[in-house]
Structure 1
């Protein structure tokens, strides 16, 4: 029987929930949730959920919701195993909103509001007769109670509530239903999204993302992040339908998670992809918002070498599985930005035909022929991006990095191919006369626990290791710009990829006007057409007609 609930009076329409076939809810006795993935020692309980994906977490109640893979044992079979674990208080089916697939948890608590002139003693007697224990007579309404059904009542709590609501002396009655709260917030440390105070200093060098969120948060758009592994179990990527078409093109599987066992430190392990994905589209429900928090994430793990067939397959997968935007924070190796004489600065790396054709496939067939929008990080070598056949491919968007004072980041590549800039990290460098930055870099999602850039130090982000405060490079600038494109497509989905690129030139602030050396065409080798302004980009997209792009 379909559970029904009614948040209004008996004369108002209620709503139905349906039982999910692949979601399971687990509640532990200990409270904080299931100790898994973050620790080095697995428990039998955590091993039982190794193949499942965490989609929602309610730590205050010790409740977590997991999505089981299609080829796994059923929810009923998994429930029998989990119920036998001594640390599990309850495991069972999950109800979802039929329209969105969003998990809706029910407790065995019921809210009841009797009519105002009912005798309070009779109200209590009615609840007692229904087998309910009064937990609290609430103070915000007359004759209103929060009551508990016996443990083990399960979904029968809906029947109890509806039976009470049918009484003439009951005005409102419904089970306690809990959905995942979604603040979709920009957090105080995220100076690249809005004006912030970091370390007591005001930082105003952002991409105007907070203002754009008043118009759109990127709903309806899918961003493919082609990179190393992505921690898709992170709470900032939770929610029904957030992660779509995950793929590991290197191993040929649908598991894009990091696959290293040495994930601590700035250059170790599959850490990069999680941070990039966070900059682009983290939910903003726990500790970090992406530029487009309501966009879907298509994580594509690429751990193969430059020019590999797997590299080409990444673009094909993205285009054939519904990606709107493709973010690529990788390319040929950079020279040392602090060594002007590094011979690598002059090396030219061509774009392989296999990769170019796969990119053109995405640019022409993606989005039902409108073309996927492809963005590349310009590079971190303080050298010419024009030597990089990937980022300088004319049909993609090369993104440079600018810092927390609105100037070029010291490492950022430059050249004719640079199309725009987005806020990122920086370094002070005395030999170049380059001052120290105001911040450590970009605050974003990190792999959970000890793996990742932050092993669990507040100085590096947070004590749990879920976030990092120092991500950066054009690696961060690229997914930031990809998020801006997602905001544009959210309000104007019929834009072609060429039109998007053209409209971005109208969406930039001409930062550093003296040092930028902007030409008559409004373009700078350091910043392209300037630092992206997300609100301006959304507005030009809203106002854009389908006219021929400027070539």
Structure 2
């Protein structure tokens, strides 16, 4: 049994028990590993930590196997730590400790004496928390392990010390990223690690899209949904088809709410968008392709302050599974009315810096270059990649593909495609029984329809960091942030472009970092 005390010498003590059916592994790459006979049950991807449970709980054989496995794992190059797991003595919940401690000395103790006592205890100062006098965040020597609890107790027994406890973490009840949202961060779904995200969780430490507006041009959007209710979230709503300011969906209009959620849902209740603090400009446009309302939608967005425009629609797709479908060879041009409206948005929007316009590449397993919308030079066409970091079987391809973003997939025996690891993308759904599912969320949204607002959300993260970037500069940042996935099958050119993935899968963490570099070099 181990114990830690919060609240000082006379504070509350919490007891932790050793659970012999659990094991924890921390990797240097932060990627989970598979352990034969053990199932992952909890993941802390930001720290590279995964907790596993034996498939033979309560047995001597499992305990002995765990001892052998942890000893073996410790010699693996990527494994930083492997060992047993402590659990809360009351709830049985796994509790992970680090070899770090928080120590606060009494206010009257000189700083020199504090540092001397820490040095005598063999502790290295990592940081000085600014919210308390004489507070230190320190590290014990690597390999200290559970002895860190004894170190904390010894320090707390000293008269100079006010508080001392190890750094202990447990699963956070997250409000930003639901566990099912594998497109945002590495996670575990149904006991299986899924690590094919756009690294959005890492970007959120720097940017969450604040003060950026994403216009979603689509079917009606449920602006009464709990994930779009933060103050100032919805701006300049418009129904271009109905001619009024109410963009709410009519019966059967599920698509727009799901797209908007992927882009910028608040993350307050059940699902986070890529840019959860971005504003949403919902534009209902269900008129047919080529209508004047279609062009008016871009003009409305640009004139009313949109920074990013997301369009998960376009010409009808051929059947992705049927190579003989004649629709695969049909070229659909972009009307001048719509082309000029898009050109207006990318030149006059954002006060002359230019809106970023994203289009879904299409779900026909056909050439995007025949689609006059997605292949327009001012448009960024987004393909779909799956939960194994490969092209989604339906996703369009061609020279016009700019990037890929994680989305759904399906099995396809003709190409040897297995069942996907996940049902699709977890996002907002029309509230009540009218949506994809009964309830406020769906787990099976997908297609390039989902990939497009995901990429638009990454653009919002970039612009929130540095709103002064021009459209061209922001586009360059996004291009350079892409990870070249599927290097064997991607057919990347000498310039780094793939007909399947464009410049690769967007990496939001890299994008916000490069945005800073772009601005510092201006």
In the superposition, the TM-score normalised over structure 2's length comes to 0.66
| Residue of structure 2 in register with 1:159 after alignment | none
1:321 aligned partner:
304
In structure 1, the residue matched to 2:220 is 229
Counterpart check, 1:499 vs 2:473: yes
Q: Distance in 2 between matches of 1:400 and 1:349?
A: 18
Q: 1:446 aligns with which of 419, 429, 436?
A: 429
State how far apart, in whole Å, the 2-side matches of 1:333 and 1:505 are.
28
How far 1:496 moved relative to its partner?
1.2
2:384 counterpart residue number: 401
Cα distance, 1:545 vs structure 2: 3.8
Partner of 1:350: 333
**Distance between the aligned counterparts of 1:183 and 1:216, measured in 2?**
17
Q: Of 187, 190, 215, which residue of structure 2 is paired with 1:196?
A: 187
Change (3 A) 1:196 1:445: same
Closer, same or farther: CA 436–183 of 1 in aligned 2, 3 Å: closer
Q: How does 1:328-477 map to 2 (within 5 A)?
A: 328-455=311-438, 465-477=439-451
> Is 1:487 paired with 2:461?
yes
Structure 1 CA distance, aligned partners of 2:352 and 2:409?
39
Q: Does the aligned pair in 2 maintain the 1:184–1:293 contact within 8 Å?
A: no
Report the aligned-residue RMSD.
1.3
The reply on whether 1:216 has 2:207 as its aligned counterpart is yes
Q: Which residue of 2 aligns with 1:270?
A: 253
Question: What is residue 250 of structure 1 aligned with on the other side?
Answer: 241
Q: Secondary structure at the match of 2:289?
A: coil
- Using the TM superposition, give the Cα deviation of residue 379 of structure 1 relative to its aligned residue in structure 2, in angstroms: 0.4
SS in 2 for 1:226: strand
CA distance in 2, matches of 1:522, 1:217: 29
Aligned to 1:97: none
Normalized against structure 1, the TM-score is what?
A: 0.63
Equivalent pair of 1:495/1:546 in contact (CA under 8 Å): no
Partner Cα distance (1:402, 1:259) in 2: 31
- Alignment length (residue pairs): 350
Q: For residue 404 of structure 2, give the secondary structure of its aligned residue in structure 1.
A: strand
Is contact 1:243–1:298 with CA below 8 Å preserved after alignment? yes
Q: What's the CA shift for 1:242?
A: 0.2
CA contact (8 A) 2:175 2:270 kept: no
Per-residue CA deviations over 1:51-102 (Å, capped at 9, x if unaligned) read xxxxxxxxxxxxxxxxxxxxxxxxxxxxxxxxxxxxxxxxxxxxxxxxxxxx
1:81-230 to 2 correspondences below 5 Å: 184-230=175-221
- Within the candidate set 495, 500, 504, 1:530 is matched to 504
- Partner Cα separation in structure 2 for residue 309 and residue 546 of structure 1: 42
1:229 and 1:200 map into 2 onto residues whose CA distance is 36
* Structure 2 stretches lacking a partner, 5+ long: 1-172
SS of residue paired to 1:362? helix
Work out whether residues 281 and 483 of structure 1, in 8 Å CA contact, stay in contact via their aligned partners in 2: yes
Is the 1:428–1:436 Cα contact (8 Å) retained in structure 2?
yes
CA distance in 2, matches of 1:366, 1:425: 32
1:305 equivalenced with 2:280 (yes/no): no
For the 8 Å contact 1:395–1:498, the answer to whether it is kept is no
